[in-house]
Structure 1
């Protein structure tokens, strides 16, 4: 069995996921319950390793409560679990794809999975979600057909964005905004958020101005 095949999900077995056979813990996510295995949770997540190895009652409980923000929170968490069972996010047919209908943002799903992976400290899933977000934004030079993109970027990069332990998604989305700034500044949805300061927080706005200024100076120097 080659490492590349395992990483890509080629050997992922969807029949093991959420199967009561041999399960030794139930993860309760809102109204949804998932049959899981402590060994797999500890293997993929330092958070679960600490929680399930602690001396507190939660370590021995048959049911582990997953914090939920809304009624749909089980969807990104389900994608996380599938990833931990060898079905990489965005790469395995049994996992939820980032290719959503236009009415449902694929980027939103990537971000929700990423935030859940950050909360429950699942490094490989964080990376997979960032890669899927990059793939989603790279479908065309500028996805003007997706008016929700500015709003989703603001959730990670804007003034009201939560403080996350890992900054990979924030860095990736900022770099996309920087590299596509000439195009997105002409789009009404982006332009509105750029003008009112809701697309990027103060730190990223300062960084953007500095890097765009440096780019302009380089272009002038090369044009001489």
Structure 2
């Protein structure tokens, strides 16, 4: 049985997939998104104002976003219904599979796999081989047999009944609503995260803005050598105002932590073409505060 959180997320995903009960349409180029005012308006200052005031959008039920980046718009809409983007949403089938209690047989097999001892003799490493030979000569590093009995009472896993209640008490109820990792784990998507951050700022979606910044920072650290990094730095400075430090602080911190970035030719070219970034890097190199 689905938990209430999974039930809610599945319902939102279903609304997005089939457009049922839709009362608002977002248009971006050739794409049309059938959305719901009750879902997006309370979370966006722009969309709330567009449908509340007597504008053309509130009368026609159509909001044209053609001037925005199509990819960023798609991720924004996905966030409204999945609380994430660039990730595979958790399906109802997979959620049931992850929350279903383990059978007694499955539990015993899982415990057996966990209790399998590592055969050090099979590892081709001189240090490990020496350890293995020393262990064999001196005997296993385990307590004497008579001492095992005093610890037996602590292992209650074999005495507890394999009931659904026992399984449910062990798992985190919020684990089942987490979404799967990004499909293209090898791609940093730094430019994409910068664009999503910008569109979240434009349309007043604080939750999406915070999520995009988090993803941008994580991927910046993981892919500091990426060829996409210079363009992402430029995107961060050209799509945000000077007072918005969300992405800019991440970029400056990356240069502080990795001084070799300044020696890259592709980074140098972008710095030359991005006055805001160049000015802040100059202040950083001079030991001055980034913001006056």
CA RMSD of the aligned region, Å?
A: 3.1
Counterparts of residues 152-191 of structure 1 (less than 5 Å): 152-157=232-237, 161-164=238-241, 166-180=244-258, 182-191=259-268
Which residue matches 2:229? 149
Q: 1:121 aligns with which of 204, 213, 216?
A: 204
Counterparts of residues 1-224 of structure 1 (less than 5 Å): 12-13=9-10, 14-69=13-68, 73-89=69-85, 92-94=87-89, 100=184, 106-139=189-222, 143-144=224-225, 146-157=226-237, 161-164=238-241, 166-180=244-258, 182-194=259-271, 196=272, 198=274, 200-201=276-277, 203-211=279-287
Higher relative contact order (CA 8 A, sep 6+): 2
Deviations 1:141-185 (A, max 9, x none): xx32x212112202223xxx14447431122222222222x2212
Deviations 1:44-100 (A, max 9, x none): 10111111111222222221111424xxx322211111211133235x522897664
**Is the 1:154–1:200 Cα contact (8 Å) retained in structure 2?**
no
Once residues 202 and 190 of structure 1 are traced to their aligned partners in structure 2, the CA distance between those partners, rounded to angstroms, is 11
Describe the shift of the 1:47–1:96 C-alpha distance in structure 2 as closer, same or farther (beyond 3 A). farther
**Is the 2:230–2:270 Cα contact (8 Å) retained in structure 1?**
yes
Describe the shift of the 1:44–1:175 C-alpha distance in structure 2 as closer, same or farther (beyond 3 A). same
Q: Report the CA distance between 1:206 and its aligned residue.
A: 3.8
Once residues 208 and 10 of structure 1 are traced to their aligned partners in structure 2, the CA distance between those partners, rounded to angstroms, is 49
Richer in helix (by share): 2
Larger Rg: 2
Query: What secondary structure does 1:85 align onto?
Result: helix
**Is the 1:26–1:35 Cα contact (8 Å) retained in structure 2?**
yes
TM-score normalised by length of structure 1: 0.72
Deviations 1:2-51 (A, max 9, x none): xxx96xx9953322214321001111111100010011111110111111
Once residues 176 and 209 of structure 1 are traced to their aligned partners in structure 2, the CA distance between those partners, rounded to angstroms, is 13
Aligned residues: 194
**Is the 2:190–2:216 Cα contact (8 Å) retained in structure 1?**
yes
**Is the 1:89–1:129 Cα contact (8 Å) retained in structure 2?**
no
| Structure 2: unaligned runs, 5 residues or longer | 90-178
Which residue matches 1:222? none
